[in-house]
């Protein structure tokens, strides 16, 4: 099962037939396994890795450190739920260390993000402070290197 | 007028031109061809290994190392051989770091052969064994193997080829070019034969890490075999380090001492940067190696499937990164097949005859190439086969 997930993680467009061939297993078995993984929400959805910059679509990312006071009974979860509902929030992590949440915010401009932090995030109940960092360049995202590099050449025929 | 002798030594003149060389020149003129003719990984060396090499240079480690190799690397190789192949060697006297597995083979032959000593070389095999045996003054005895036994040499094959004065047997499993492996029982039988005939065995196990399904059976791990075996390994294949030129030999101290002598006069020592990087390869790269192995295994299943589907019968290769299908169905010779496939479909494979006469009727397809290219190459090959064989 892990091998199926690894393959789909690399290339979500692989067909059951292709996966079956690569893993040396019957196609029906793969089809069934994938259906079960989808049903159990292990596979949550299939998406595409896009270099938006190359596509000419501007995206700005801000990494915002949020410190907040946990609430009795629910800890950080209640605040997390309020934060993650905003469509601007790309990712949200509870962290160990100097702050509590790392909020990754996506916007069209820096001003969008600054506005979001000032108007939506900072004023939330229990949020004590925020610190905003803007992304200047994305080199590697979720395991994908986002800068074009020349491929190393091999001799066309070797023993 | 005095007859002028050739400026080139007769024994070199007499060596045949490598069948691969000729093909290289053809493929070189076709930059858009998909090449399944490459005998090295498409992966680049894992970053942590490259990084260790860079760090070594940064610290200015640019001098010779001891002839035998650096102490840390020798110790890592000893640990590795114990851990992975189940054979133990003393890093001080029984291991030698060489310039690729190729150098180890060359100096092993030079260290043990007297003029005219016979060297049994099962074929199809890597292109260097035969010339190295001849250059070392030996008499190369080709031992044909057949697809009937999945290109695993049989004791009966060796018995047939053996002649008085035979001193060395060269084994190479997993095999380049066939992808054949030798299971434990078969290996033990071969090593019993070697003991019966009192042969030294040079076992090229450079693809030991690349087996699919079964653990690699080292020649040196066969009962009683250690004292007559020169085990050759290297970093090129499993660690994707071909360009670093680093390998090793392990064996009984007397032979290793002789090899060390040849090595020290021929090359002094192996490259320092590569040796320091290789320590990292052995210490910290099991996951990277496993990942590459998984990927090769997937490609292997795809290429073998597709070849069989198009009617080019291909036995299940259990190791390395080669498939060795029969092209009998096309009625073409290996050379014709490879040449026409290249010209008509821009796909390069190597004629089986480049690896010995018994490779006739087969071609070597390397799957050390991206899956998408393998799939495209197989589609083109299928249409070629259909056109030729109907």
pLDDT tens for the 390 residues of chain B, in order? 567 889 999 999 999 888 788 888 889 999 889 999 999 999 999 999 999 999 999 999 999 999 999 999 999 999 999 999 999 999 999 999 999 999 999 999 999 999 999 999 999 999 999 999 999 999 999 999 999 999 999 999 999 999 999 999 999 999 999 999 999 999 999 999 999 999 999 999 999 999 998 899 999 999 999 999 999 999 999 999 999 999 999 999 999 999 999 999 999 999 999 999 999 999 999 999 999 999 999 999 999 999 999 999 999 999 999 999 999 999 999 999 999 999 999 999 999 999 999 999 999 999 999 999 999 999 999 999 999 997
Q: Which residues 23-52 of chain A have a CB within 8 Å of chain B?
A: 23-24
- Tens digit of pLDDT for each residue in B195-228? 999 999 999 999 999 999 889 999 999 999 999 9
The Cα A28–Cα B224 span in angstroms is: 48
Residue B291 touches chain A, beta carbons under 8 Å: no
Question: Which residues of chain A have a CB within 8 Å of the CB of B322?
Answer: none
Q: What distance in Å separates residue A150's CA from the closest CA in chain B?
A: 13
The beta-carbon neighbor of A156 closest among B37, B44, B301 is: B37
DSSP assignment, residue B32?
Answer: T
Determine the Cα–Cα distance for residues B275 and B49; give it in Å rounded to an integer.
10
DSSP 8-state assignment for residue B84: I
DSSP A54-123: TTT---EEEEEEEEEPPBTTTBTHHHHHHHHTSTTEEEEEE-SSS-SEEEEEEESSHHHHHHHIIIIITT
The SS3 assignment for A8 reads helix
Q: Sign of torsion, CA B335 B178 B44 B299?
A: positive
| Residue A18, min C-alpha distance to chain B (Å) | 9
How many whole angstroms separate alpha carbon B315 and alpha carbon B325?
7
Instruction: Kindly report the pTM of this predicted structure.
Output: 0.94
Cβ contact, residue pair A159, B42, below 8 Å: no
Q: Phi-psi bin for B273: left (phi > 0), alpha (psi -120 to 50), beta?
A: alpha
Contact B35 A159 (CB under 8 A): no
How far apart are alpha carbons A111 and B275 in whole angstroms? 53
Q: Which of B35, B128, B302 lies at the smallest CB-CB distance from A156?
A: B35
B 344-383 residues inside an 8 A Cβ radius of A: 348, 350, 354, 371
* Cα distance between residue B22 and residue B188, in whole Å: 38
- Contact across the interface for A157 and B27, Cβ inside 8 Å: yes
Q: Which residue of B has its CA nearest to A19?
A: B298
- Give the whole-angstrom CA distance, residue A10 versus residue A22: 13
Distance from CA of B179 to the nearest CA of A (A): 14
CB-neighbour burial class of residue B313 (10 A; exposed 0-12, middle 13-18, buried 19+): middle
Question: Which alpha helices (DSSP H) does B285-325 contain, by range?
Answer: 286-309
> Which tens digits make up the pLDDT trace of B293-310?
999 999 999 999 999 999
Q: How many CA atoms lie within 13 A of B20 on its CB side?
A: 20
């Amino acid at each position: 099962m892990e091998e199926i997930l690894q393959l789909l993680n690399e290339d979500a467009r692989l067909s059951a037939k292709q996966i079956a061939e690569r893993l040396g297993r019957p196609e029906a078995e793969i089809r069934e396994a994938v259906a079960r993984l989808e049903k159990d929400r292990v596979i949550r959805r299939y998406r595409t890795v896009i270099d938006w910059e190359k596509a000419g679509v501007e995206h700005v990312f801000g990494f915002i450190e949020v410190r907040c006071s946990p609430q009795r009974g629910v800890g950080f979860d209640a605040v997390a739920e309020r934060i993650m509902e905003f469509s601007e929030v790309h990712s949200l992590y509870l962290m160990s260390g100097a702050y509590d949440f790392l909020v990754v915010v996506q916007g069209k401009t820096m001003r969008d993000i600054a506005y979001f932090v000032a108007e939506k995030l900072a004023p939330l109940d229990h949020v004590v402070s925020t610190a905003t960092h803007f992304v200047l360049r994305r080199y590697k995202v979720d395991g994908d290197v986002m800068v074009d590099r020349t491929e190393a050449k091999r001799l066309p025929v070797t023993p | 007028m005095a007859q002028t002798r050739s400026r080139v030594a007769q024994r070199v003149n007499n060596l045949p031109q490598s069948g691969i060389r000729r093909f290289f020149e053809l493929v070189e003129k076709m930059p858009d061809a998909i090449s399944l003719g490459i005998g090295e990984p498409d992966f680049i060396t894992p970053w942590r290994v490259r990084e260790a090499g860079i760090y070594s240079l940064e610290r200015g480690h640019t001098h010779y190392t001891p002839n035998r190799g650096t102490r840390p690397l020798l110790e890592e190789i000893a640990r590795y051989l114990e851990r992975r192949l189940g054979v133990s060697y003393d890093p001080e006297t029984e291991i030698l770091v060489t310039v690729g597995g190729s150098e180890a083979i060359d100096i092993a032959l030079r260290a043990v052969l007297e003029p005219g000593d016979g060297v049994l070389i099962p074929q199809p095999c890597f292109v260097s064994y035969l010339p190295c045996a001849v250059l070392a003054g030996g008499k190369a005895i080709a031992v044909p193997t057949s697809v009937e036994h999945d290109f695993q040499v049989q004791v009966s094959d060796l018995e047939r080829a053996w002649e008085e004065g035979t001193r060395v047997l060269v084994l190479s499993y997993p095999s380049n070019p066939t992808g054949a492996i030798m299971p434990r029982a078969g290996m033990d039988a071969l090593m019993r034969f070697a003991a019966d005939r009192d042969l030294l065995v040079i076992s090229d196990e450079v693809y030991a890490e690349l087996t699919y399904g079964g653990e690699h059976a080292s020649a040196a791990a066969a009962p009683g075999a250690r004292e007559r075996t020169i085990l050759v390994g290297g970093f090129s294949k499993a660690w994707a380090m071909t360009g670093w030129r680093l390998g090793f030999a392990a064996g009984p101290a007397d032979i290793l001492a002789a090899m060390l002598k040849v090595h020290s006069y021929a090359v002094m020592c192996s490259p320092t940067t590569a040796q320091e990087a290789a320590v990292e390869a052995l210490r910290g790269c099991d996951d990277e190696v496993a990942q590459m192995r998984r990927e090769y295994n997937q490609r292997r299943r795809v290429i073998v499937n597709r070849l069989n589907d198009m009617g080019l019968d291909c036995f299940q290769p259990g190791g390395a990164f080669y498939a060795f299908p029969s092209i009998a169905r096309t009625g073409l010779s290996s050379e014709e097949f490879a040449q026409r496939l290249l010209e008509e479909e821009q796909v390069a494979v190597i004629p089986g005859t480049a690896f010995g006469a018994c490779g006739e009727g087969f071609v070597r397809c390397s799957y050390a190439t991206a899956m998408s290219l393998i799939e495209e190459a197989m589609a083109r090959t299928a249409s070629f086969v259909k056109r030729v064989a109907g």
